[in-house]
């Protein structure tokens, strides 16, 4: 189930990026829409129709992206249970005898 939602999420992300890049921005951008006014292509979809379609498509893709993000977040967090270090017993360490220092030895007086 998780894999299916991740695949849908990736498809939505790629489609959302594409929809945003195709839209006409104020500076022109990568807009593929027809020219403004009555001139130009004058074909199937005018500039206003294209803008409305792309705006709606972007909104739908964004809503789908957000919903799959929330679903994935809920599914990822469902497997963990809260833990506390207070509930765990303390680990007892055995004392370690000090090692003899390395290096020159001082002669012992007898």
Per-residue pLDDT of the chain (110 residues; tens, 9 = 90+): 889 999 999 999 999 999 999 887 655 545 555 544 444 445 555 666 767 888 899 999 999 999 999 999 998 876 667 777 777 777 777 777 777 667 677 777 77
H or E stretch at 48? helix 47-77
Q: What is the pLDDT of residue 71?
A: 94
Q: What is the gyration radius of the CA atoms in the chain, in angstroms?
A: 33
Q: What is the pLDDT of residue 88?
A: 74
pTM of the model: 0.54
Burial call 32-56: b when 16+ CB within 10 Å, e when fewer: ebbeeeeeeeeeeebbeebeeebee
């Amino acid at each position: 189930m998780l894999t299916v939602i991740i695949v849908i999420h990736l498809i939505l992300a790629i489609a959302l990026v594409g929809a945003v890049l195709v839209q006409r921005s104020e500076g022109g951008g990568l807009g593929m829409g027809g020219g403004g006014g009555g001139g130009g292509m004058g074909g199937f979809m005018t500039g206003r129709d294209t803008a409305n379609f792309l705006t709606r498509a972007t909104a739908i893709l964004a809503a789908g992206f957000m919903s799959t993000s929330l679903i994935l977040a809920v599914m990822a967090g469902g497997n963990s249970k809260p833990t506390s270090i207070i509930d765990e017993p303390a680990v007892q360490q055995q004392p370690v005898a000090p090692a003899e220092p390395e290096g020159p030895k001082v002669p012992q007086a007898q």
